[in-house]
Amino acid sequence: MSESVPQRQRRYPRASSAKNMFVAWKSPSRTSISRISVVGLGGMFIHEADPPPPGTLLQLLFETPVGQVRARAAVRSAEVGRGMGVEFMQMRQQERARLANMIKHLLP
């Protein structure tokens, strides 16, 4: 008999992004453009072969159907060859509304 491992509770629902959704990001040491696979009001998963280490602060810029979103984020998890999970730390209210609108349309 196996024990079930409880799933980590998330504050916000996550949605799979469109295959052609990209984010421009900048860390203290580099700038890049990468594909987004999952997004939520709390953060996103960014595909990047050589992600910065956890704790790195990033500046993000990405497009939604109703305009750009700029945000500051922190890398919370990173896996070489796969990507990084980032948590949004700061974003203007109107940009958060754009993000929420986009996520609402992506959720099933």
Rounded to the nearest 10°, the torsion over CA 15, 16, 20, 25 is: 60
Residue 66: per-residue pLDDT: 84
Residue 1: per-residue pLDDT: 38
Among residues 61, 57, 51, the alpha carbon closest in space to that of 98 is found at 61
Residue 12: per-residue pLDDT: 57
Distance CA 102, CA 107 (A): 9
Beta strands in 18-92 (DSSP E): 22-26, 31-40, 43-47, 57-64, 67-79, 83-91
Q: Is 35 exposed, middle or buried (0-12, 13-18, 19+ CB in 10 A)?
A: middle
Q: Which two tokens stand for residue 28?
A: 């203290």
Residue 3: per-residue pLDDT: 42
Give the residue ranges of the chain where pLDDT is below 70: 1-19, 107-108
Show me where the domains of the chain are located. 14-106
Task: Assign domain 14-106 one CATH number from 3.40.630.30, 3.40.50.1000, 3.40.50.1220, 2.40.10.220.
Answer: 2.40.10.220
Distance CA 70, CA 13 (A): 20
Residue 57: per-residue pLDDT: 98
Residue 11: per-residue pLDDT: 64
In the DSSP assignment, the letter for residue 40 is E
